[in-house]
Structure 1
Amino acid sequence: MGCCSSRNDDDSLRQEGADGNPIPRGGNRPLIKKGITWTADSPITIYNLKRQRDAFWDTAPSYEGRLEIWQALRCSCESEDLTLSQAIIDSANITIPTGNLSDGCYDELGNRYVIPIYCIVDPTNLITDNNYDEGTSQRVENLDTKLLAEQEIVGPGHTFTIRLSTSTRDVKINYNPKLDTIATLKVKLCTDQNIDIKRFNIRFFFLGRMFDDRTKLHDISLEDGQILQTFISEKI
């Protein structure tokens, strides 16, 4: 995951760029995307790559840095027009010492932002046929909430405490540990909070781990007092 930190002028703490050379402390070079390559640990679909990118952009501003800078960086990375990407960087007064955002860039206050390479360019082993993943997502969206309400109760009920990225209050959702998955938890949360599941992406995190729709809830070992983080963002 990328990061944000304050600028440090100590030469002993200078970072190395993608080419192995020290990143200069000053200067500003034009944004580059062409010529940057990476390969995922295993072939990845467009759908899963988008989920990975969304997870980073949704969580990065929660740690450090200025929200408006993170938003500008996201818009710049997601634009396929290099001229527009550069214009966004310039308008936000962001400087890039090497031209490569994965080496780090700075805002006017000297805060350093590092963007993971998977948010900048596609991997060399990208799978363009993502019918399986899209089909899985569509099935989640079309889950029948009435059927969920009529599930046979097996064993004692349990409750998750969920913290929403869109609200300051926590929400408690009942679930069946032997039947429910992350997919059904999404539907229950949307029903409880009147969220349109077709309009919003919903991702659940715990201790830095993001869960996919097939994860069974009894496999998430939450202890009393611990909270399941939920990030909600509108679909593009």
Structure 2
Amino acid sequence: AGEGRGQRTSGTNNAGSNRRAGRGSGQGAVGPGNKLLCRNPPTWKADAPMTKGQLLSKRDEFWDTAPAFNGRPEIWQALRAAAECDDMATAQAITDAVNVTLPMGNLSTAYDELGGKYEIPAYCLSKPTNLIADGPDGEGERPLSASTPLGAAGSAEEGPSITVKLRLNTGTETEWTGPSSAKVKVVREHVCSAEKVSADRVRLLFSGQLLTDTQKLSEKKVVADSIIQVMIRPED
């Protein structure tokens, strides 16, 4: 599996037994091979400067796809909750509740009690050193309005025109029309403009898969009359 994907380790890994041994000796969550969670976020730099909206989109993509590669879904859910928690005591309680061992004292590498290994990339644990300010739409760029010519934004390439349905989790449904070779980002920007929300709150799904900004609609087999699910996260 690629970077950040959960991997099943061999039976020689004794992370689970170490955790149980630590608890049995009265040391609480700390035991051989396990450390208390501490606030030491990794320092990293993105290949290209990114906005907060782009960072959150990248994180969503990882958390939504990681369970499909390996590992137990409930462990991934707990690790995500801990990673997104600002309170260290609460984050520690979350990992303890699912018997997760943290050999490095952070969430970059974790083991469940069966020896399953979970690796979380740095971008899910901290911000890059080259994070840039968001624009009005959360992506650092002006959002497209429904009347903005697609070519004007330079986001779409030539291709047959298609109309797709956008089904929002708010209960409404709308449409988007443009080239089949347009990038997902164009559709996201259309939603942001129409619903007046920032890009980091919008997720697009098609056929059960999360769509990312750099993908082309044609690559994901989106055709005329396809239905794209639009999930808008409530404002914090």
TM over 0.5: same fold? yes
Residue among 91, 109, 113 paired with 1:108: 113
Q: Return the alpha-carbon distance in structure 2 between the equivalents of residues 156 and 111 of structure 1.
A: 47
CA distance in 1, matches of 2:210, 2:232: 21
Aligned-partner residue type, residue 125 of structure 1: N
CA positional deviation for 1:10? 5.4
**Which residue does 2:58 correspond to in 1?**
52
Q: Deviations for 1:17-67, whole angstroms, at most 9, x for unmatched residues?
A: xxxxxxxxx621111332632222222221111111111111112222222
Shift of residue 216, structure 1, vs aligned partner: 5.8
After TM superposition, give the deviation of residue 188 of structure 1 in Å: 10
How many residue pairs are counted as aligned between the two chains?
A: 193
Q: TM-score, normalised by structure 2?
A: 0.59
Equivalent residue number for residue 99 of structure 2: 93
Alignment of 1:98-177 (within 5 A): 98-102=104-108, 104-127=109-132, 129-134=133-138, 139=143, 143-144=145-146, 176-177=178-179
1:188 & 1:131 partners in 2: Cα distance?
15
Identity across the alignment (%) = 35
Gaps of 5+ in 2: 14-31, 151-157, 170-174
Match of 2:71 among 53, 65, 71: 65
**Is 2:10 the counterpart of 1:8?**
yes
Distance 2:229 2:123 in 1: 20
CA offset digits 1:171-197 (Å, max 9, x no partner): xx99653685535656999xxxxxx99
SS at match of 1:131: coil
Q: Contact conserved, 2:6 with 2:117, CA < 8 A, in 1?
A: yes
Structure 2: how far apart are the matches of 1:231 and 1:107? 33
Within 2, Cα distance between the matches of 1:231 and 1:63? Answer: 23
Asked if the contact 2:135/2:141 (under 8 Å) is kept, the reply is no
Q: Distance in 1 between matches of 2:176 and 2:91?
A: 44
The TM-score with structure 1 as length reference comes to 0.59
1:114 is displaced (CA, Å) by: 0.7
Pairing 1:203–2:209 present: no
Q: State the alpha-carbon separation in 2 of the partners of residues 234 and 137 from structure 1.
A: 19
Distance across 1 between alignment mates of 2:159 and 2:124: 43
- Compute the displacement of 1:101 (Å): 2.0
* Separation in 2, partners of 1:233, 1:182: 14
Amino acid at match of 1:2: G
Give, as a single letter, the amino acid of the residue that structure 2 aligns with 1:27.
Answer: G
CA distance in 2, matches of 1:231, 1:62: 20
Rounded Cα–Cα distance in structure 1 between residues aligned with 2:221 and 2:131: 38
Amino acid at match of 1:126: L
